[in-house]
Structure 1
Amino acid sequence: MKLGLSGGGNYSSLRFQDSSITEHDSEVGYLFGIATNIQLKNELSLQIELNYERKVVSVFSPEFEINGVKINSFRNYDLYDFMTLPVLLRYEVGEKSPFYINGGVFLGYLLSARERVNDGDLSEDLSEYFTDFDLGLSIGVGKIFLLDNSNELFVELRNNLGLTNIDSDPNGQYQKTNSLSFILGWNLVL
């Protein structure tokens, strides 16, 4: 059994139906959390994590007009804070400093959704426009670096592909998450 701490960055995006008025861009966020790894067979283990994730998406609205009133272009940064619970099967290859591949599911709980306009002066709570839960598939590859018999470091590249619509309006456009994460961590081998 292993207990671990991890942190890193993510590059998040939303997949949604086209919008003619805005353009969405992926931005860099962060994550950190705790994990346990339970050995099932020689090369196979169960990885369970609890992570805090900040996902960031920028939204650009070009100049437009409403009832004869000109609205200047602006850029918003939408900040989504999630607690995520990935449950993954991990397959390791190699004895000393093994490589691994893992895959499974994740469940995300939305803690908050906020929007910052341009330079961050204005902020708006967007939580009411989103559902509380996100569910999806997770796949990753990584490498373990053994320090001694009870300590190891790891580095992982992981993709979390949201499968559920997080838009709270059932008649609105669908919105699904996607995050590519670069994770660094430390495990205590028990």
Structure 2
Amino acid sequence: MVIATLRQKLFELLRADRPPTGYRPGVTLAHLRRNLGLATLQVNGFAFEIVERTESQLLMHVVMTEFLLQVPASAGGTGRFEVHHGGAIRRNGIRVRCRSGNPALGRELQARLQADDVLLQALMPLDFKRLRIELQDRQWSVRLEHMGGSEVVNRMPAFRRYIALSPVQREHLLATLAGLQRVLSTL
């Protein structure tokens, strides 16, 4: 009975759906909005959204922000793709990995990303952790998680640090979102 009680207490303590201790919803988003310097989340006539996501570790957590972009697709189909930089030491291109759906669509997506010089010039120096592109119900969904615009919160020793987007990364990020909107709207 004691072991069952301890197991239940441990489960409640480590529950995944519970926010981490010290998490302040919306604070990192407020820092990022000030950091971006935009009155609205619109650039060159297209709108995007920003959401927070937490990742818990032992005595700390990280609050990351994801930039979301929705683009109507010109054709149907489904697919989930991950975009990342190529090269082990130096970035030497963009690679698209097909996670599900039509592999030919993934090859076409990679060709279009490589062919758009403006997008490629913005995407290559961009320090992103994840870039996911999904096609479903004639709608492209882009989720871009940048290395900046996040907050590290440690409980022992207690500290909290916002990692800002540099002005150069800010410009690359906004140019990447605009380029992805342009490329995906024709695909």
Same fold (TM over 0.5): no
Bigger proportion of residues as strand: 1
Structure with the bigger RCO (C-alpha within 8 Å, sep 6+) is: 2
Bigger proportion of residues as helix: 2
